[in-house]
């Protein structure tokens, strides 16, 4: 299993925790998926104490927490949010999001690299939400990141892998870097395909939380991720242009 900053999760699925119908459904989905890592946004607060109740629920799940800077649109905002997350959750891990465009939630990759550099120098272990751009990936690694998390498609769109060529190129250029497809997954087949491309994990939220049966979908995604990983490891056949008979023709009856 791949190591993420020294931590080797048993599951290749990372699960988000927002937009579930209820805390009970969230808890059941996490347990059904058997995940070791969940992402959490700090933007959960309320005068009725709902924010603290949510944090208590997450801690009770006995999983590794990956706080995120969801909704941040600049370097200063993202860095400040990351420091708050480290204080609240007591972890150096941070999923770094710096949004540059509101309709697609595309990362502001220039600000992302700068924020990653600042946080890495301050002892954070950064998981950057990025595009599949090879140059930006190289700059993020130079800034101190040891993991890359390119999007499959814009957040919440359920479109799957919009640019398989780009994702495949990223895997080929950085064979030893842990890579996680983050965002845009909608179906178990999308998750399996990401693993077939050689990715080390899949991070998703909306596909499970927004499903008619979040618990069932959580289990399906976990199985799909494992199936894709096993398929990749089994060295699958390359596509062929000509048919190849699966039954030998030697020894067949001559008419």
- Residue 8, SS3 per DSSP: coil
Q: Is 163 annotated as a binding residue?
A: no
139 catalytic residue (yes or no)? no
Count the residues in the chain: 255
Catalytic site residue from 59, 76, 95, 219: 95
Q: Is 18 annotated as a binding residue?
A: no
Q: Is 156 annotated as a binding residue?
A: yes
Other CB atoms within a 10 A radius of the CB of residue 211 amount to 17
CB 120 within 8 A of CB 126: yes
Do the strands 125-130 and 149-150 form a parallel or antiparallel pair, or are they unpaired?
A: parallel
Burial class (CB in 10 A: 0-12, 13-18, 19+), 198: middle
Q: State the Cα–Cα distance between residues 203 and 214, nearest whole angstrom.
A: 15
CB 155 within 8 A of CB 210: no
Tokens of 55: 């944090």
Binding-site residue ranges = 156, 183-184, 205-206
Binding-site residue ranges for 1-deoxy-D-xylulose 5-phosphate = 156, 183-184, 205-206
Which residues are tagged catalytic? 95
């Amino acid at each position: 299993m791949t190591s993420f900053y020294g931590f080797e999760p048993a599951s290749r699925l990372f699960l988000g925790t927002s937009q579930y119908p209820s805390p009970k459904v969230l808890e059941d989905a996490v347990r059904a998926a058997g995940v070791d890592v969940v992402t959490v946004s700090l933007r959960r607060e309320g005068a009725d104490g709902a924010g603290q109740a949510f944090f208590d629920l997450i801690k009770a799940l006995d999983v590794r927490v990956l706080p995120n800077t969801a909704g941040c649109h600049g370097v200063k905002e993202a860095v400040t949010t990351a420091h708050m997350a480290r204080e609240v959750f007591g972890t150096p891990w941070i999923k770094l999001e710096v949004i540059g465009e509101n309709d697609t939630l595309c990362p502001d990759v220039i600000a992302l690299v700068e924020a990653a550099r600042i946080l890495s120098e301050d002892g954070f272990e950064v998981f950057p939400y990025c595009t599949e751009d090879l140059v930006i990936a190289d700059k993020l690694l130079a800034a101190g990141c040891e993991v890359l998390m390119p999007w499959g498609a814009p957040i919440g769109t359920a479109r799957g892998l919009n640019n398989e060529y780009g994702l495949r190129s990223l895997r080929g250029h950085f064979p030893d870097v842990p890579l996680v497809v983050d965002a845009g997954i909608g179906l178990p087949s999308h998750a399996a395909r990401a693993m077939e491309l050689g990715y080390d994990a899949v991070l998703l939220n909306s596909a499970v939380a927004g499903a008619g049966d979040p618990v069932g979908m959580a289990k399906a995604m976990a199985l799909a991720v494992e199936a894709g990983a096993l398929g990749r490891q089994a060295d699958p056949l390359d596509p062929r242009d000509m048919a190849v008979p699966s039954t030998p023709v030697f020894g067949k009856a001559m008419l």
